[in-house]
Amino acid sequence: MKKVTKYQDKKVLVIGLGKSGLNAAKLLLRLGAQVTVNDKKEASPEVQTQLTQMGVRVVTGSHPLSLLDGCDLIVKNPGIPYRNELVAAAQAQGLPILTEPQLAADILEGQLVAITGTNGKTTTTTMITEMLNQARPNHAFKAGNIGIAASQVAQEIGADDVMVTELSSFQLLGITDLHPHIAVLNNLYEAHTDYHGSREEYVKAKMRITMNQTADDYFVVNWDQEEWRTLSQASSAQVVPFSRQNLSQAGAYVKDGTIYFRDEAIMPVTDVKLPGEHNLENALAATAVAKLMGVSAQAIRQVLMNFGGVRHRTQYVATFKERKFYNDSKATNMEATEKALSGFKQPVVLLAGGLDRGFSFEALEPYFKNLRGIVLFGETADLLEEAAQDAGVLNIVKTENAVTAVPLAYQMSQPGDVILLSPACASWDQWPTFEVRGDRYIEAVEELIKKESEK
């Protein structure tokens, strides 16, 4: 951990008592700051006691503007929008507003690999970490939006280690000098416009991942759409493309059914365990990073031949009576669900629905053609029903949530089918996070199997 003095004696307000907020507060204390933590929700007695005993002032239940009096700096939970009254007031006063990954970057001794994009971030982050550890065990650590606070990980790793960090657009808005040696842009689709205000602002936020890179760094970019190729020109780093469509051979690509990095054949595509073209793109991105960091083709092959996915991202759950259940709760937008559906050749019973962000779902209609049926829930159930009807789906059922959807999907399915939770929507209308939604779905699948087995 680097010695940092810029937070010494600074009065810092941490807004949001989630995982990132708690870890940010603890790190700031260690760096000598005077810390106040604020959350609109009441803190649990355990958290309240823990922070108070550490010397943190805790204010919960509201966002009083008086908290800004004498404040030097804000560290904001990424999910809290800038239109929040307290955050907006801080902006109006010209106070710096950071997110927790910037604190991690300040103290990080090792190298930083950072991954962003609309879809595939978690899978790519995990693949890269496993590839780097295949070459040098216990020297790469995943962190960030993947669910592990970067500020916690950065305190624990040494100068010879690597922090592989998933960064969301929300987090990237709050960085100043975060500087990845290798940055990855997986893809960019329509997402989070309710937060950013427009797709243009969303793209700008994503591109902040490369804003501090220099000619000594690498920017690994999906080369399969013109927009992404054009965006790469804004980076000062060395651009390293990856292409499923063999549009460039300057990085990682697929040619004649084989994954290559530049002139080196890595492995046949058919040996990649994780299904779907989107996961092939993730594998290419991870391969490019691994090769840039000196990992052998053998080590890359070992990971890709055995990598079974990450929790909540097209995660295999169980097989029961020739039906395969998958949990893709992290599919919080249409593009993620498109990719999940395109990864299966067999008939699918889809479970979908969630927070209404003002979108219609016509874009999903071509991907609904292979559906055995669809079970819908949440605020978007009616909108998704319209798209399913237009696509000619014959079996359409609406229910309360992703848990009550499981037995209905099973009743609708036939042997050989896939039963897939891939909501195409955020979870916040019914669940606090997509992880909770996915966990409840898995529990519901396990309960279904238990009950059906007892008949």
Closest CA to 114 of 82, 146, 155: 146
| 103: CB partners within 8 A, 6+ apart | 24, 27, 28, 75, 150, 151, 154
Is 120 annotated in a binding site? The answer is yes
Produce one character per residue of 342-373: b if its CB has 16 or more CB atoms within 10 Å, e if not.
ebbeeebbbbbbbbbbebebebbbebbebbbb
| Residue 319, CA distances (Å) to 214, 324, 333, 337, 375 in order | 48, 4, 26, 21, 19
Give pTM, 2 decimals: 0.80
Question: Which amino acid would we find at residue 100?
Answer: E
At residue 285, the pLDDT reads 98
Is 270 annotated in a binding site? The answer is no
At residue 21, the pLDDT reads 92
Is 117 annotated in a binding site? The answer is yes
Is 212 annotated in a binding site? The answer is no
Starting at the earlier edge strand, list the strands of the sheet with 111-116.
140-144, 162-166, 111-116, 182-185, 218-222, 238-243, 252-255, 258-261, 264-268
Q: State the chain's maximal CA–CA distance in angstroms.
A: 67
Is 122 annotated in a binding site? The answer is yes
CATH assignment, 108-306: 3.40.1190.10
At residue 27, the pLDDT reads 97
Domain 11-98 has CATH 3.40.50.12780: no
- CATH number for 315-454 (one of 2.40.30.10, 1.20.120.1200, 3.90.190.20, 3.30.559.10): it is 3.90.190.20
Is 186 annotated in a binding site? The answer is no
Q: What are phi and psi of 364, to 5 degrees?
A: -85, -15
Domain ranges of the chain: 11-98, 108-306, 315-454
Tell me how far apart the alpha carbons of residues 121 and 147 are, in angstroms, rounded to a whole number. 12
Produce one character per residue of 208-223: b if its CB has 16 or more CB atoms within 10 Å, e if not.
bbbbbbeeebbbbbbb
At residue 45, the pLDDT reads 85
Q: Are strands 264-268 and 371-376 parallel, antiparallel or unpaired?
A: unpaired
At residue 239, the pLDDT reads 98
> What number of helices (H) and strands (E) belong to the chain?
16, 20
| Residue 336, CA distances (Å) to 158, 276, 406 in order | 35, 11, 20
Closest CA to 7 of 98, 143, 112, 110: 98
Which SS3 state, helix, strand or coil, does residue 80 take? coil
Q: Where are the alpha helices (DSSP H) in 214-357?
A: 226-232, 277-292, 297-306, 334-342
Tell me how far apart the alpha carbons of residues 270 and 253 are, in angstroms, rounded to a whole number. 14
At residue 190, the pLDDT reads 74
The partner residues of 60 in beta bridges, in order of sequence, read 39
Q: Which helix (H) or strand (E) holds 396?
A: strand 396-398
Is 333 annotated in a binding site? The answer is no
pLDDT tens-digit profile, the chain (455 residues): 999 999 999 999 999 988 889 999 999 999 999 999 999 988 888 888 989 999 999 999 999 999 999 999 999 999 899 999 999 999 999 999 999 999 999 999 999 999 999 988 999 999 999 999 999 999 999 999 888 999 999 999 999 999 999 999 999 999 999 999 999 999 998 777 778 889 999 999 999 999 999 999 999 999 999 999 999 999 999 999 999 999 999 999 999 999 999 999 999 999 998 888 889 999 999 999 999 999 999 999 999 999 987 878 888 899 999 999 999 999 999 988 998 999 898 999 999 999 998 889 999 999 998 899 999 999 999 999 999 999 999 999 999 999 999 999 999 999 999 999 999 999 999 999 999 999 999 999 999 999 999 97
> How many CB atoms are located within 10 Å of the residue 397 CB?
17
Residue 244 token pair: 């499923």
